[in-house]
């Protein structure tokens, strides 16, 4: 029943949050309060009932029951972070029973706080990595990600300042695709959209003799705008999956 479901989740969350708040956490093989079992239970309930739950919100909610005599909440942010990581650790074990380890790590990096959504993304990603064009898709994304991941600055995209045809083609295609993406796309939607960019990304990174451009142009404004475009493309995967965790990245 709905009431039984709510009580089952509340009971497990209450135990985990309360005991983590006072430092009574499992260590090694020692788990006297059955917190690992409670965490697995939360994950299994979410998966079994297909519940779109944000564990961060549930942990915040569970912490409200823990106050000192004068009403001060004593569940620290560190305790909440540790409790979330603990549940995700059990989630990792559950998902690895079905999916490859790199697929699990990729989805947990962005969706670990939502077990059902993470499992759905793992299922979708498992199909994609077996598809005929996957190597080209991952390679195109990796080229954008590798050149931007060490940048300390998030650059402002200035579409009107592009001059080369290959970069104009890419920014136009990106803008059209980004406008059609839902606010919270699943992995299928995101990769279906990204796949349309692959030929234009390949052309963008082609040698200058073949019409490509140098991303790290000596002109700082040109360089910044090209990096901004690539940062926006990489950000399409935010909240979906961390593809750098995949084999072959």
What letter would DSSP give residue 74?
A: -
3-state SS assignment for residue 229: helix
- Closest to 181 (Cα-Cα) out of 197, 165, 169, 203: 197
Yes or no: say if 99 and 126 are a contact pair by the CB < 8 Å rule.
yes
- Going by C-beta distance under 8 Å and a sequence separation of 6 or more, which residues neighbour residue 136? 198, 202
Task: Specify the pLDDT at position 110.
Answer: 97
pLDDT higher than 90, residue 67: no
pLDDT at 183: 85
Q: What is the pLDDT of residues 184-229, one digit of tens each?
A: 899 999 999 999 999 999 999 999 889 999 999 999 999 999 999 9
* pTM: predicted TM-score of the whole model, two decimal places: 0.91
10-45 pLDDT, tens per residue? 999 999 999 999 999 998 888 999 999 999 999 999
d(CA 140, CA 226): 15
Please provide the size of the chain in residues: 249
pLDDT mean over 95-107: 98
Residue 70 has pLDDT above 70, yes or no: no
């Amino acid at each position: 029943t709905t009431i039984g479901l709510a009580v089952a989740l509340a009971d497990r969350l209450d135990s985990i949050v309360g005991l983590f708040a006072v430092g009574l956490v499992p260590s090694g093989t020692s788990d006297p309060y059955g917190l690992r079992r409670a965490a697995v239970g939360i994950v299994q309930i979410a998966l079994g009932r297909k519940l779109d739950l944000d564990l961060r919100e549930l942990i915040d909610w569970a912490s409200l029951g823990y106050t000192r005599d004068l009403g001060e909440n004593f569940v620290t942010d560190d305790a909440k972070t540790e409790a979330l990581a603990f549940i995700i650790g059990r989630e990792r074990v559950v998902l690895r029973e079905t999916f490859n380890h790199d697929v699990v790590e990729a989805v947990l990096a962005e969706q670990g706080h939502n077990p059902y959504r993470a499992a759905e993304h793992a299922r979708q990603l498992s199909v994609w990595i077996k598809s005929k064009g996957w190597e080209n898709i991952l390679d195109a994304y990796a080229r954008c990600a590798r050149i931007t991941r060490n940048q300390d600055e998030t650059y402002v995209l200035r579409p009107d300042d592009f001059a080369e045809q290959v970069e104009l083609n890419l920014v136009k295609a990106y803008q059209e695709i980004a406008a059609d993406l839902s606010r919270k796309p699943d992995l299928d939607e995101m990769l279906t959209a990204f796949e349309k960019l692959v030929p234009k990304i390949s052309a963008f990174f082609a040698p200058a003799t073949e019409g490509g451009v140098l991303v790290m142009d000596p002109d700082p404004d040109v360089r910044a705008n090209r990096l901004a475009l690539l940062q926006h493309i990489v950000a399409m995967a935010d909240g979906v999956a961390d593809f750098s965790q995949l084999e072959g990245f």
